């Protein structure tokens, strides 16, 4: 499929999704949202694909929700259309997604990066939630996901002042998993995604689901959820194969069953 605001390419079992509205620094308008919903759903449904990478340009992952599109909207428009709720369909993707961020990830851009399962940052990355400067607040999960990722002190300072975090600070704060030189970002992200895509598919789904449960449950329930899903994987062919392959000192061959 081809999209107006995205470039989508498959590199082996990795789907590389590039936000492509360079004239607006990838500002997230309703077209990008519709394209992202379609592209992530297609990725999730394609059995040949195991992991996706979402990236932007060298200058901007995305400079936020599209301010020009939002400016004239009133409460009734926003509320009746439940503006931004569509992004929940992107976060419903069951297979792993990596955000590869170079340049600005501001407002909705930072929020989309945080919707991914983890963030790999180029050394040029800048993260911020500057909505307060527009007299609004984050609206795509930023106040919640940023606070869970970096804690109250940094999240509060960022949303109240609109200041940006550079890649190094973001790594120290736990917002990103790793920082790599900008020139290597895509290669490194695709390589990491290929590693994930090489794992048994059900194990990838289960590991993602489990870590996400840590954000939704208390510790005892979370551990119970982990253990039951762990038990469940012993009903799969791939578990038998994975453990046999280890014992026989050979790579596993997965059926996804």
What is the closest distance, in whole angstroms, from the C-beta atom of residue 23 to ligand HXC in the complex? 7
Considering the candidates 24, 27, 63, 65, report the single residue annotated as catalytic. Answer: 65
**Annotated catalytic, 131?**
yes
What is the closest distance, in whole angstroms, from the C-beta atom of residue 124 to ligand HXC in the complex? 13
What secondary structure, in 3-state letters, does 32-43 show? HHHHHHHHHHHH
Selected binder of ligand HXC within 108, 141, 201, 242 (CB under 6 A): 108
Q: Is 24 in the site for ligand HXC (CB under 6 A)?
A: yes
The residue (of 65 and 197) whose beta carbon lies closer to ligand HXC is 65
Considering the candidates 108, 109, 128, 242, report the single residue annotated as catalytic. Answer: 108
**Annotated catalytic, 65?**
yes
Q: Is 68 in the site for ligand HXC (CB under 6 A)?
A: yes
The residue (of 50 and 142) whose beta carbon lies closer to ligand HXC is 142
**Annotated catalytic, 168?**
no
User: Number of C-alpha atoms within 13 angstroms, CB side, residue 232?
Assistant: 13
The residue (of 35 and 66) whose beta carbon lies closer to ligand HXC is 66
**Annotated catalytic, 88?**
no
Q: Is 201 in the site for ligand HXC (CB under 6 A)?
A: no
Selected binder of ligand HXC within 43, 61, 104, 127 (CB under 6 A): 104
Size of the site for ligand HXC (CB under 6 A): 21
The residue (of 43 and 104) whose beta carbon lies closer to ligand HXC is 104
The residue (of 85 and 243) whose beta carbon lies closer to ligand HXC is 85
> Under rule CB under 6 A, which residues in 133-152 are in contact with ligand HXC?
134, 136, 138-140
Considering only the stretches 66-74, 86-94, 146-154, 227-235, report the one whose residues sit in contact with ligand HXC under the rule CB under 6 A: 66-74
Q: What are 32's two structure tokens? A: 């990008």
The β-bridge relationship of strands 126-128 and 165-166 is antiparallel
Considering the candidates 62, 113, 131, 204, report the single residue annotated as catalytic. Answer: 131
What is the closest distance, in whole angstroms, from the C-beta atom of residue 35 to ligand HXC in the complex? 16
Q: What are 222's two structure tokens? A: 């979370």
Kindly write down the DSSP assignment for every residue of the chain, as one continuous string.
Answer: ---SSEEEEEETTEEEEEE--GGGTT-B-HHHHHHHHHHHHHHHH-TT--EEEEE--SSEEE--B-HHHHTT--HHHHHHTTTTTTHHHHHT--S-EEEEE-SEEETHHHHHHHHSSEEEEETT-EEE-GGGGGT----SSHHHHHHHHH-HHHHHHHHHH---EEHHHHHHHTS-SEEE-GGGHHHHHHHHHHHHHTS-HHHHHHHHHHHHHTTTS-HHHHHHHHHHHHHHHTTSHHHHHHHHHHHTTS-------
**Closest of 165, 166, 164 to residue 182, by C-alpha:** 166
Query: Catalytic residue numbers?
Result: 65, 108, 111, 131
Binding site for ligand HXC (CB under 6 A): 24-25, 27, 63-68, 70, 104, 106-108, 130-131, 134, 136, 138-140
């Amino acid at each position: 499929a081809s999209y107006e605001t995205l470039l989508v390419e498959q590199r082996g079992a990795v789907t590389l999704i590039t936000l492509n509205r360079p004239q607006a620094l990838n500002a997230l308008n309703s077209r990008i949202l519709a394209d992202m919903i379609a592209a992530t759903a297609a990725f999730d449904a394609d059995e040949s694909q195991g992991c996706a990478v979402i990236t932007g340009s060298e200058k901007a992952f995305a400079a936020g929700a599209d301010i020009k599109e939002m400016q004239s909207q009133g409460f009734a428009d926003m509320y009746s259309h439940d503006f931004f709720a569509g992004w929940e369909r992107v976060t419903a993707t069951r297979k792993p997604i990596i955000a590869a961020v170079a340049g600005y990830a501001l407002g909705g851009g930072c929020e989309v990066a945080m919707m991914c399962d983890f963030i790999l940052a180029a050394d040029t990355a800048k993260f911020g939630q500057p909505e307060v400067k527009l007299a609004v607040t984050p609206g795509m999960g930023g106040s919640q996901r940023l606070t869970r990722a970096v804690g109250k002190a940094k999240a509060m300072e960022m949303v109240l002042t609109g200041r940006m975090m550079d890649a190094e600070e973001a790594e120290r704060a736990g917002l990103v998993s790793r920082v790599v030189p900008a020139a290597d970002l895509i290669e490194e992200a695709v390589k990491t995604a290929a590693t994930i895509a090489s794992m048994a598919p059900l194990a990838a789904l289960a590991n993602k689901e489990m870590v996400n449960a840590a954000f939704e449950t208390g510790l005892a329930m979370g551990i119970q959820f982990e253990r039951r899903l762990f038990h469940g994987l012993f009903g799969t062919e791939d578990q038998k194969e994975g453990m046999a392959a280890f014992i026989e000192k050979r790579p596993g061959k997965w059926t996804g069953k």
